[in-house]
Amino acid sequence: MVFDRVLTGLASMCWLALSGVTAIGGLREPASLPGVNMAMAAVFAGIAAWLAWRLAAMEAVRRCHPDCRQVGRLIAADAVAAGTALLLGLACLSAAVFRVWIEMLPVFG
């Protein structure tokens, strides 16, 4: 099932982009809380790294047990979780982009 790999990869990239937008927003001039923006950028980058690690872990499980029925169920559940992470990441990313480039304000503060 390639679908879960694509969803997890897109979710990881989305959270990494959110981290970058948050960091850029923290560098904007009227930033009252630049430390909060940088800390949240680190949290978002950590979520992206965790999603990338999970993708590698699922690949290892898939290689070790290619014909196992339970692994198929695990992959299906992982696809649902990855889709949820992608939707949440896209929602947060769109809000952060609006805040930084339309309102010209930092994401937090």
| 21-67: pLDDT as tens digits | 999 988 877 667 788 999 999 999 999 999 999 999 999 999 999 88
Judge whether 86 and 11 are in contact, CB under 8 Å. yes
Domain ranges of the chain: 3-102
Predicted TM-score (pTM) of this structure? 0.90
Alpha-carbon distance values, 72 to 61, 68, 100 (Å) = 10, 7, 41
27 DSSP assignment: T
pLDDT, position 109 = 79
Mean of pLDDT values over 11-30: 91
Judge whether 15 and 47 are in contact, CB under 8 Å. yes
**Mean pLDDT over the full length of the chain:** 92
Residue type, 3: F
Q: Please name which of 80, 42, 74 lies closest in space to residue 57, comparing C-alpha atoms.
A: 74
pLDDT at 7 exceeding the cut of 90? yes
- Between 30 and 74, the higher pLDDT residue: 74
Q: Please name which of 102, 91, 99 lies closest in space to residue 37, comparing C-alpha atoms.
A: 99
